[in-house]
Structure 1
Amino acid sequence: MNDFYRALGDIRNIRRQMAETTAFRGYGPLTLSATAGFALIGGGAQSHFIPDTTHHPSRYITLWSAVAFCSLLLMAISTKTRTRRHHSGLEQEMIRLAAEQFLPALIAGIALTLVLARCVPGSAWMLPGLWQILYALGVFSSCRFLPRALFAAGAWFLTTGLLCLSLADARALAPWTMTVSFTLGQLLIALILRITTAETTDQDA
């Protein structure tokens, strides 16, 4: 019986090693482009419904949290479908590895949002910059099994996040800070994945 469980453990280790050395193709360019559209919608909604974010930081947080949730939900559905199609046999391992790259940044973002919103509401202007920096860290972390060119996208989000923090006041809550950063950033990721996917297909052919 011990030999049986040892064999199962060896199989799991082999499958994980295979997943770690396989380029992940679960993120779809079209889906990422759609999340860029969500950012545009979020910016438009903020402009129309929350013109004064200084007095309504909770509304700002609620709006962009909803945008993030919709984006994550769409990405989760698309990623599961694409992973099943492109990584047949390694689906669970690939999805687990992908989640491990982004979960720390996601959890940190949720925790920071809750703490600032509840305990230091006057510091809500820091959130756009912090969100973008944490997202950049998630992108950098994912580059270990995604195209290296995505470092450019991580650098974009890191730069825009720092620029938001440098505003040092409620100007960081303006609609354009999140809209410009995530719309262009997500489109950049989509473009890189589109190009590298096409290159991989040509090489395989």
Structure 2
Amino acid sequence: MSFGLHHALREVRELKRHILTKQRFKGYSGRARALGGCTALAAALAIHRGYAPADLASLLVAWGIVLAVSLVLNYGALVYWFLYDEEVGRDWQSLKPALEVVPAFAVGAVASFACIRMGAVALLPGLWMCLYGLGNLASRHVLPRKISWVGAWYIAAGAVCLLWPQWAWSQPLVMGSVFFIGEWLGGLVLHYDEAEGRTIWSFFGLPNLSQSYE
């Protein structure tokens, strides 16, 4: 009887794990996140070494380019997954977890514009880090649970930058390093989750075009 009870509990745990796996969102690419982190660090190094102008307009353009590259990488990988993963079947409902973080980033865009307009640009690094951390935490129910640690990293770093804003803004390596570490950590979390059965990998090595959508 004891053996039967343990067997039943094991089956319940396996069923629960299977359900959680099926609910997990597979549209994000760990490789794309890692490349985005490299872009942030490269921009910070270019500014720090004087290869890029350090005036306000140039800094905003530089970080805007970093954002644009990261969006292309991450959402490009998302589109690739949506089009070519047979399990998705181009079902628009599968994109719901990615769309749920859009309001938070929209608020971030408005807050960023307000800071620039009011001359409080020194608050931007901390603001961006905290909002990015909240986005990671908001996704913890559909991504591997360890993504919560990535969110905590961003929020902790953002809090420090908000408390010492002038230091954070004047040292581009601070923001570059925070996003490099955070995106690599997030990329590793997603990568090891991908290794547990995901077959569509893009933007890091050759994509698997043999599994094209029928």
Shift of 1:30: 1.3
SS of the residue aligned with 2:89?
Answer: coil
The equivalent residue for 2:125 is 128
Shift of 1:65: 1.5
| 1:39–1:182 contact (8 Å) kept in structure 2 | yes
Letter in 2 for 1:199: E
Shift of 1:90: 5.3
**Structure 1 unpaired stretches of 5+:** 1-17
Q: What TM-score, normalized to structure 1?
A: 0.78
The equivalent residue for 1:163 is 160
| 1:80–1:95 contact (8 Å) kept in structure 2 | no
RMSD: 1.9
| 1:58–1:117 contact (8 Å) kept in structure 2 | no
Any residues of structure 2 matched to 1:64-103 within 5 Å, and which? 64-86=63-85, 87-89=87-89, 91-100=91-100, 102-103=101-102
Question: Would you say how many aligned residue pairs link Structure 1 and Structure 2?
Answer: 174
The equivalent residue for 1:116 is 115
Distance, in Å, in 2 between the alignment partners of 1:67 and 1:92 is: 28
Distance, in Å, in 2 between the alignment partners of 1:104 and 1:88 is: 24
The equivalent residue for 2:9 is none
The equivalent residue for 2:175 is 178
Distance, in Å, in 2 between the alignment partners of 1:144 and 1:175 is: 33
**Structure 2 unpaired stretches of 5+:** 1-18, 199-214
Distance, in Å, in 1 between the alignment partners of 2:88 and 2:193 is: 20
Letter in 2 for 1:185: G
Distance, in Å, in 2 between the alignment partners of 1:22 and 1:83 is: 16
Distance, in Å, in 1 between the alignment partners of 2:82 and 2:90 is: 8
Distance, in Å, in 2 between the alignment partners of 1:163 and 1:200 is: 38
SS of the residue aligned with 1:192?
Answer: helix
| 2:47–2:172 contact (8 Å) kept in structure 1 | yes
| 2:33–2:73 contact (8 Å) kept in structure 1 | no
| 1:23–1:145 contact (8 Å) kept in structure 2 | yes
Distance, in Å, in 1 between the alignment partners of 2:142 and 2:77 is: 18
The structure where helix makes up a greater share of residues is 1
| 2:41–2:173 contact (8 Å) kept in structure 1 | no
Q: Does 1:138 align with 2:141?
A: no
1:40-97 alpha-carbon deviations (Å, 9 max, x no partner): 121023222234xxxx333222211221111112211111112333342254112233
Distance, in Å, in 2 between the alignment partners of 1:146 and 1:84 is: 20
SS of the residue aligned with 1:199?
Answer: coil
Shift of 1:192: 0.9
Q: What TM-score, normalized to structure 2?
A: 0.75
Distance, in Å, in 2 between the alignment partners of 1:89 and 1:40 is: 36
Shift of 1:200: 4.6
**Identity over the aligned pairs, expressed in percent?**
27
The equivalent residue for 1:194 is 191
Distance, in Å, in 1 between the alignment partners of 2:130 and 2:192 is: 25
Q: Does 1:59 align with 2:58?
A: yes
| 2:112–2:124 contact (8 Å) kept in structure 1 | yes
| 2:43–2:66 contact (8 Å) kept in structure 1 | yes
Shift of 1:166: 1.7
Distance, in Å, in 2 between the alignment partners of 1:165 and 1:82 is: 36
Distance, in Å, in 1 between the alignment partners of 2:113 and 2:61 is: 11
